[in-house]
Structure 1
Amino acid sequence: MSRAKISAIGLASATVGASGALLYHSYSDGSKPKNAAAVPPAPGISTKALPVQTSAPLQIFPASSDLVSLNHNGILKYGSPGPVLDELKSLALWGAYDRRTRNPWWVAEHITSESVARSDAKRNNSAFSEDKTIPLAFRARLKDYSHSGYDRGHQVPAANANWSQQAMDDTFKLTNMCPQVGEGFNRHYWSRFENFCRNLTQKYPSVRIVTGPLYLPKKDDEGKWRVSYEVIGDPPNVSVPTHFFKIIFAENEDTTNEDTSKVAVGAFVLPNASIDNKKLLADFEVDIEIVERASGLQFAEQLALERRKRLCGEVKCDVSVRNFREASAKPKL
């Protein structure tokens, strides 16, 4: 990633230190991801806890040890502490919930040229709601957002679920929300970014998107890297992300041969701050490995490197673009 790109992100997120954060995660070893989360749409509407798989504790002492009073196999006699990831599955999205931050780890969606053209749902018929499948002790609550100064920011947009009222209702659960700066971000630049993703279906009939929060470090006055973020609620309950990511997989119609068909991939990191609408989306483009290192997630295990092409090399990455049939990444000669 160029120094110019890092500087551009830093200017847009001066209050949260995006420049330093992305520098922190820019490694030069050239390693590539080995694993990723598949992102197909889920037909059911349910949420369940994903228990951590625990194996027998390591045999620290030899079998002949004189410490016979120790029950090595009973270390977890009263249960494993976790962590437990709550799986989010509904008509509109698939994801995982982070009990520690009370935000989603990530949410994935699949939109098509057909799905975004539908208008079978009305936003006014949906209401924000707590997800009661999450244990109360770890649940984000409506009152946490009250007078917090932050919007309840959709990760999977409601407008992407126009094809079903139930699907749209699913997007209004707080497990699909994060605290977002309203003015200049959630209501403006982020909203235009979401529209950019929908408009991609003009060129790519199938678009898969993974979205989630980040908590990135910034350098303090002493030159030390620190992670610092606000927590809203009384008592404090929901963490406020410093940044958000979107990973986009745009597929052409010809996907019959998955061994050779190309997929346009774009990875973007935006600060949770007001952004000028004139700012190019391409200024927030990063290598997918940067998002993986920052989030601890992996996105493209099942997509070979030779099948990937750069999204911003295919289309103009600008939130002002409304017609991708006429706009392209390369200017006409």
Structure 2
Amino acid sequence: MSKVTLAIIAAAGAATGAAATAAFYSTTKKETPPSVTTTTTTTTATAAGPPRRAPIPPVPGIPHPAAQRPVDPSGVFQYGFPGPIADLRPAASLTSSYDRRTRNPHWVAEHITPSSLAANNADRKHSVFVEDVSIPEMFRAKLKDYFRSGYDRGHQVPAADAKWSQEAMDDTFALSNMCPQVGDGFNRDYWAHFEDFCRRLTKSYPSVRVVTGPLYLPKREADGKWRVSYEVIGSPPNVAVPTHFYKVIFAEDGQIGGKVALGAFVLPNAVIANNKPLGDFEVPVEVVERASGLEFASKLEPVRRKRLCQEVSCSLVVREFAQKQKAFQKH
């Protein structure tokens, strides 16, 4: 088991503990209303008329729970809801959820098909990096945050997946689709080859959906304790540099209710040798869910699931265009 998997499992263990606590509180017995005591009464018949029942004691009133509270914590909502608020961005080539705290996306989802990749109606030279003005200014990642930071503006949905229109490609250049990524050796190399692997899946599947995003995973330090530590860039420093990135891949067979080859991968945000097997970064999707706090396949029935790396060869193709790719991705 690789070190990255161990780190993810450690994060998963912490999340599991939190889930257990939540489950405990959610299953606590609710307070039952006061019971009503039934009194058995004996009646006596008289010549004056039919027997009469004794009066039924009234049911004690159950006070409204709010009447017992001397405070109203939710009253703070009159001044505005604190959050967290996830800025959902539906665009032509992607859908994303933005994390205002880290100035990175929670996740970015895309859909690629053989026909979408075959179209060539856009040119990357005409696309420019832009700030996402749909996000409030104080929570927005800015172009100056990346300037001389030492990190690439790393696409979560790559521009090469959106060549079917210039608008679609332009959508991928918003900073809400970016995270700080190590350049040489990762964003311009191994990560780019991984993105190419996702595109090559369309040769075997008519529909491929990919969800990509950052992780902030714990690392075991010299004292034996696990801690989460990550760099922050910008001025003021507010854009988090992820420790890892994930991709969850759904390779669909094209049939309604058909089989789905599911694959999940976690890669460190670091230099990775191109000869490193992609399979070394494969993890169960549940590990990514626990580490990220997100759910990806809760509605995908087990009977429909297949393991992607058992259906296809999970290996990279290091192409000759690597140098050209680097030139395009320089910040």
- The 1:144/1:307 distance shift into structure 2, 3 A limit, reads same
CA drift of 1:301 comes to: 2.1
In the alignment, the residues of structure 2 paired with residue 318 and residue 188 of structure 1 have an alpha-carbon distance, to the nearest angstrom, of 14
* Matched letter for residue 296 of structure 1: G
How many angstroms apart in 2 are the aligned matches of 1:146 and 1:305?
46
Partner of 1:121: 122
- For 2:66 and 2:275, the matched residues in 1 are separated by 66
Sequence identity of aligned pairs in percent?
Answer: 61
- 3-state SS of 1:77 partner: helix
Q: Who is 1:189 aligned against?
A: 190
The 1:319–1:73 alpha-carbon spacing in structure 2 relative to 1, beyond 3 Å, is closer
Q: CA separation of 1:312/1:78 partners in 2, compared to 1, >3 Å: closer, same or farther?
A: same
- The answer to whether the 8 A contact 1:107-1:211 is kept is yes
1:22 corresponds to which of 8, 11, 17? 8
Conserved 8 A contact 2:245-2:269 = yes
Report how far residue 190 of structure 1 moved: 0.2
Distance in 2, Cα, partners of 1:74 & 1:294:
33
Distance 1:119 1:222, change over 3 A: same
Q: Deviations over 1:119-159 (max 9, x none)?
A: 11000000000011111100000010011000000000000
Q: Secondary structure at the match of 2:167?
A: helix
Unaligned runs of 5+ residues in structure 1 are 1-5, 11-17, 34-58, 323-333
Question: What CA deviation, in whole Å up to 9, does each residue of 1:32-75 have, x standing for no partner?
Answer: x9xxxxxxxxxxxxxxxxxxxxxxxxx9976256x4xx456624
For the structure 1 residues 74 and 219, does the alpha-carbon distance in structure 2 shift closer, same or farther, using more than 3 Å as the test? Answer: same
1:62-211 equivalent positions in 2, closer than 5 A: 63=67, 67=70, 70-71=71-72, 74-211=75-212
Matched, 1:241 2:227: no
- Give distance in 2, aligned partners of 1:290 and 1:60: 43
- 1:19 Cα deviation from its structure 2 partner: 4.8
Structure with max Cα Rg: 2
Q: Report if aligned partners of 1:20, 1:218 keep a CA contact under 8 Å in 2.
A: no
The alignment's TM-score, normalised by the length of structure 1, stands at 0.78
Residue type at the aligned position of 2:265? F
Unpaired stretches in structure 2, ≥5 consecutive residues: 20-62, 320-331
Whether the 8 Å contact between 1:130 and 1:141 is mirrored in structure 2 is: yes
With normalisation by structure 2, the TM-score equals 0.78
Alignment of 1:288 onto 2:285: yes
Opposite residue 267 of structure 2, the aligned amino acid is L
Separation of aligned partners in 1, 2:172 and 2:153: 11
- Larger proportion of helix: 2
SS at match of 1:63: helix
Name which structure has the greater RCO, CA cutoff 8 Å, separation 6+.
1
In the alignment, structure 1 residue 309 sits paired with structure 2 residue 297: no
